[in-house]
């Protein structure tokens, strides 16, 4: 297997381009999943306070015994803690059994409660204090991002958004890139690949490269310059999802997958969620 790729963020920090997502995994499931993931080569784990599995992540990391500087751990500030980001982070750090996280993300803007700028200012302070290495956001639209930048002067290093072949968010991805914000894909396989894995172009590329449809889609994210965090608790799939560094898709193949975009959002609408 070729070496996993890394991405340099605008603050100078580096993160693996491919990580393990643990959404909807129980504490028990996440322990087994992380054990397998670290065994096959993952070093980036993406969790959140809202996932209710930070305890499991923390135990798994402690049991693994890997040097802290080999790991890249992401967690997220939940909506009801936007007015107290320090408290939210301290609770997460205690569960994760860590002194700091590599990336702290605001989970949703929740524009209806209008606390996200205040939360961002708090996250800036947490970074200055060394409790987080990098700070970013999830599910932010252009107007939310622009307001953060205008009112604080600090640009998020990452915007983690729903992104898969059926929902490519190309305008937002391009805006992020223009502002040196790394785009990270959640639900990268469109929640199990429904409507994606059975597409002729995906099946044809899987046959051509001797890969599975999931591996083709993950490679599409990587070759599109995205950070990607496929979620699985199945050991064979965890290994399969990481076995994508020995081939690349060419420009024409990427373009064919781009044609699958139908604007099909599977998750909540960030403009109204959490209100």
116 a catalytic residue: no
- Residues 68, 70, 75: CA angle, nearest 5 degrees: 70
Paired with 75 in beta bridges are 104
**The token pair that represents 239 in the structure block:** 């290994």
How many C-beta neighbours within 10 Å does residue 67 have? Answer: 6
Handedness of CA 30, 36, 38, 42 (dihedral sign): negative
Marked catalytic residue, from 42, 51, 104, 116: 51
Of 3, 9, 23, 20, nearest to 267 (Cα)? 23
Phi and psi, residue 40, nearest 5°: -90, -10
Task: Decide: 56 and 27 in contact? Cβ < 8 Å.
Answer: yes
Tokens 């597409």: give the residue. 199
Among all residues, which ones are annotated catalytic?
51
């Amino acid at each position: 297997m070729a070496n996993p790729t890394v991405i340099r963020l605008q603050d100078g920090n580096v993160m693996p381009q491919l990580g393990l997502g643990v959404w909807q995994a129980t504490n028990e499931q996440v322990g087994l999943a992380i054990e397998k993931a670290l065994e096959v080569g993952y070093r980036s784990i993406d969790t959140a306070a809202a996932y209710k599995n930070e305890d499991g992540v923390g135990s798994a990391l402690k049991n693994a015994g890997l040097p802290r500087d080999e790991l890249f751990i992401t967690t997220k500030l939940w909506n009801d803690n936007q007015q107290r980001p320090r408290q939210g982070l301290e609770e997460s750090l205690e569960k994760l059994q860590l002194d700091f996280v590599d990336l702290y993300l605001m989970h949703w803007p929740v524009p209806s409660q209008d606390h996200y700028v205040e939360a961002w200012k708090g996250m800036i302070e947490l970074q200055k204090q060394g409790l987080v290495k990098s700070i970013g956001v999830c599910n932010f639209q252009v107007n939310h991002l622009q307001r953060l930048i205008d009112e604080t002067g600090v640009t998020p290093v990452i915007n983690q958004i729903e992104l898969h072949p059926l929902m490519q968010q190309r305008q937002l991805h391009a805006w992020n890139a223009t502002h040196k914000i790394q785009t990270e894909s959640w639900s990268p396989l469109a929640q199990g690949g429904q409507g994606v894995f059975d597409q002729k172009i995906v099946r044809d590329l899987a046959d051509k490269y001797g890969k599975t449809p999931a591996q083709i889609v993950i490679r599409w994210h990587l070759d599109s310059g995205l950070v990607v965090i496929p979620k699985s608790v199945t050991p064979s799939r965890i290994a399969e999802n990481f076995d994508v560094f020995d081939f690349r898709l060419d420009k024409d193949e990427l373009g064919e997958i781009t044609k699958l975009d139908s604007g099909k959002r599977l998750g909540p609408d960030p403009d109204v969620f959490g209100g």
